[in-house]
């Protein structure tokens, strides 16, 4: 059976390029021949909108409809709610109803495992599942971290977004201890970098100094630029909109790093199973 790698793109701070990273990492993986499912786990539905579905409130089937069935222990079709983007990715869209769904989880047994239980029936059809988390550390984000094999943390190259790293890493460690001991931190990816400013360079250096010894800092550095925002407005990835842009080159580098890590993880799993 295919062993999909589940990646949560997570940061409780908004505006750090989280959704853009999820979209373009997913598109990059699809361009590399991988079967990819992008999951919009944010009630704001930014990922869905960035890929061209602007009015997800009008959709009958979304992440809410399928997770509601999982919550209620009802059967569902693994293809339910999944849309296909013309760049080769499958997408499970979100809408504002996800906020109410999150509240409904308060009294649910094993509430942290709803998304994980959904993926058990879906992920065998994919090489990679990329989850765009909401900008908070609530129950939906905990669900994503519980379901994930690894978390990638986008950090904007400014002081205040970087300052929130301590709380985020504390929560990831708590999920590792209590819910998902197999969760790994894939790494930190620096985003929205303006190389013209000394602040960006100082922030990157501070992240490397404070966290680089224990956490991988991806070599890819995502520059600030209007092209990525324009691509989102068109419902396209940066590769489709402007393949020659600096953000496209940076996301291509990030994709190569993630693919290399994925191949190493699969090799390690095969070696481990062969030693038993």
pLDDT of 50-77, one tens digit each?
Answer: 999 999 999 999 999 999 999 999 999 9
Determine, yes or no, domain membership for 272. Answer: no
pLDDT in tens, 101-119: 999 998 899 999 999 999 9
- On whether the CB atoms of residues 24 and 17 are closer than 8 A, the answer is no
Domain that holds residue 226: 5-266
DSSP class of 4: P
Residue 271, in any domain of the structure: no
Please state, in angstroms and rounded to a whole number, the distance separating the CA atoms of residues 82 and 80: 6
pLDDT at 131 over 70: yes
Residues 6 or more apart from 146 whose CB is under 8 A from it? Answer: 112, 113, 115, 116, 175, 179, 180, 183
Give CA angle at 21 (217, 267), nearest 5°. 60
**Residue 182 to residues 91, 173, 193: CA-CA distances in angstroms?**
25, 11, 31
| pLDDT beyond 80 at 13 | yes
Q: Is residue 116 domain-resident?
A: yes
**45 pLDDT tier (thresholds 50, 70, 90):** very high
Whole-model pTM: value is 0.94
**Rounded Cα gap, residues 78 and 233, in angstroms:** 29
- Is 106 within the bounds of a domain? yes
Q: Which of 64-73, 208-217, 262-271 has the highest mean pLDDT?
A: 64-73
According to DSSP, the residues that pair with 221 across neighbouring strands are 190
Q: Is the residue at 86 inside a domain?
A: yes
Residue 275 has pLDDT above 80, yes or no: no
Instruction: Say if residue 146's pLDDT is above 60.
Output: yes
- DSSP 8-state assignment for residue 88: S
Residue 274 lies in a domain: no
Give the whole-angstrom CA distance, residue 188 versus residue 206.
13
Number of domains in the chain: 1
Least confident of 48-52, 149-153, 160-164: 160-164
Separation of alpha carbons 98 and 103, rounded Å: 9
Give the domain CATH number at 74.
3.40.50.300
- The reply to whether 275 falls in a domain is no
pLDDT in tens, 167-208: 889 999 999 999 999 999 999 999 989 878 888 888 888 889
In this prediction, residues 3-19 reach a mean pLDDT of 91
């Amino acid at each position: 059976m295919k062993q999909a790698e589940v990646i949560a793109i997570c940061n409780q701070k908004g505006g750090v390029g989280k959704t853009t990273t999820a979209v373009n990492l997913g598109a990059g993986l699809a361009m590399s021949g991988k079967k990819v499912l992008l999951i919009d786990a944010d009630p704001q539905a930014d990922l869905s909108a960035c890929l061209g579905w602007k009015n997800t409130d009008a959709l009958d089937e979304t992440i809410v409809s399928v997770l509601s069935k999982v919550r209620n222990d009802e059967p569902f079709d693994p293809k339910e709610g999944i849309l296909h983007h013309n760049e080769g990715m499958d997408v499970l869209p979100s809408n504002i109803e996800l906020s109410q769904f999150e509240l409904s989880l308060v009294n649910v047994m094993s509430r942290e495992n709803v998304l994980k239980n959904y993926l058990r029936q879906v992920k065998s059809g994919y090489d990679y599942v990329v989850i765009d988390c909401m900008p908070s550390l609530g129950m939906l984000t905990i669900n994503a971290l519980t379901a994930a094999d690894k978390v990638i943390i986008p950090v904007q190259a400014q002081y205040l977004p970087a300052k929130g790293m301590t709380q985020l890493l504390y929560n990831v460690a708590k999920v590792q201890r209590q819910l998902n001991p197999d969760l790994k931190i894939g790494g930190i990816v620096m985003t929205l970098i303006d190389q013209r400013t000394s602040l960006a360079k100082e922030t990157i250096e501070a992240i490397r100094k404070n966290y680089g010894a224990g956490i991988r800092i991806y070599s890819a550095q995502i520059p600030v630029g209007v092209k990525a925002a324009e691509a989102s407005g068109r419902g396209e990835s940066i590769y489709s909109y402007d393949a020659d842009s600096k953000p496209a080159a940076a996301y291509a580098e990030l994709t190569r790093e993630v693919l290399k890590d994925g191949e190493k993880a699969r090799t390690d799993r095969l070696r481990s199973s062969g030693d038993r």
